[in-house]
Chains A and B, each alone.
Chain A
Amino acid sequence: MSMGDSAGDARASRRPDSAVVVAGLTKRFGDVEAVRGIDFTVASGEVFGFLGPNGAGKSTTINMLCTLMTPTSGSARVAGHDVIRERDEVRRNIGLVFQDPTLDGYLTGEQNLRFHAELYGVPKTVVAGRMRQVLEMVGLWDRRGDRVLAYSGGMKRRLEIARGLLHSPRVLFLDEPTVGLDPQTRKSIWDYIQQLRHNEDITIFMTTHYMEEAEYCDRIAIIDSGRIVALDTPQELKASVGKDRVQIETADDAAAISALKETFDVEAAVHDGAVTFSVPSGEEFVPRLFARLGVPIKSVSVSRPSLDDVFMSYTGTTIRDAEGSANDWMRMAFRTRR
Chain B
Amino acid sequence: MGTSAITGDVVRVRVPERSVRHDLRAVKIVLHRELLRFWHDRMRMIAGLLQPVLWLLVMGTGLSSLMRSGSGGDVDLKTFIFPGVCAMSVMFTAMFAAGSIVWDREFGFLREMLVAPVSRGAIVIGKCVGGAFVATCQGVVIVALAGLAGVPYDPALLLTLIGEMFLGAFALTGFGVMMAARIKSMQSFFAVMQMAMMPMMFLSGALYPLSGLPSWLSVLTRLNPLTYAVDPMRHAVFSHLDLSPALAKAFNPGVTWNGWQVPVQLEVLMVVAMGLGLLGVAILEFRGGE
Contact = CB atoms under 8 A, between A and B. Distances in A.
Interface of A: 66-68, 88-89, 91-93, 96, 98, 100-107, 111, 114-116, 118-123, 125-126, 129-130, 133, 166-168, 199-201, 336
A199 B111 contact: no
Contacts of A91: 115-117
Interface stretch (B25-33, B128-136, B151-159, B235-243): B25-33
B10 A199 contact: yes
Interface of B: 1-4, 7-16, 18, 22, 25-26, 28-30, 33, 36-37, 40-41, 104, 106-109, 111-113, 115-118, 290
Contacts of B10: 133, 168, 199-201
Given A91-B115, A96-B115, A106 B37 contact: yes
Contacts of B118: 119-121
Contacts of A105: 107
Q: Which 10 A-B pairs have the closest CB atoms?
A: A118-B29, A123-B2, A91-B117, A102-B108, A121-B22, A168-B13, A119-B116, A102-B112, A92-B117, A88-B117
A98 B112 CA distance: 9
A93 to B, nearest CB: 8
9 contacts: A93-B15, A96-B115, A106-B41, A107-B37, A118-B26, A121-B2, A123-B14, A126-B2, A126-B11
Contacts of B12: 168, 201
Given A120-B15, A121-B15, A200-B10, A100 B40 contact: no
Given A101-B108, A102-B108, A103-B109, A123 B13 contact: yes
A205 to B, nearest CB: 15
Given A88-B117, A96-B115, A115-B33, A133 B11 contact: yes
A67 B2 CA distance: 24
B117 A120 contact: yes
A142 B286 CA distance: 37
A116 B112 contact: yes
Contacts of B104: 104
Nearest to B33: A115
Nearest to B126: A119
A67 B30 CA distance: 22
A287 B107 CA distance: 59
Contacts of A121: 2, 15-16, 18, 22, 25-26, 117-118
B36 A107 contact: yes
Contact of A118 (B3, B28, B106, B112): B28
Nearest to B28: A118
A126 B4 contact: yes
A168 B33 contact: no
Given A107-B36, A115-B33, A130 B2 contact: no
A68 B4 contact: no
Contact of A122 (B9, B13, B108): B13
A167 B115 contact: no
Contacts of B41: 106
Contacts of B106: 336
B11 A130 contact: yes
Nearest to B25: A118
Contacts of A111: 33, 36
Contact of A98 (B11, B15, B111): B111
Contacts of B115: 66-68, 91, 96
A53 B227 CA distance: 57
B97 to A, nearest CB: 14
A129 B11 contact: yes
Contacts of A119: 25-26, 29-30, 112-113, 116, 118
B165 to A, nearest CB: 25
A120 B14 contact: no
Contacts of A92: 15, 117
A101 B107 CA distance: 7
Contacts of A200: 10
Contact of A201 (B2, B3, B7, B28): B7
A88 B18 contact: yes
A150 to B, nearest CB: 13
Given A105-B107, A121-B18, A121-B118, 10 more contacts: A104-B109, A114-B29, A116-B116, A118-B28, A123-B2, A126-B11, A130-B4, A130-B13, A167-B15, A199-B8
Given A102-B111, A115-B33, A120 B116 contact: yes
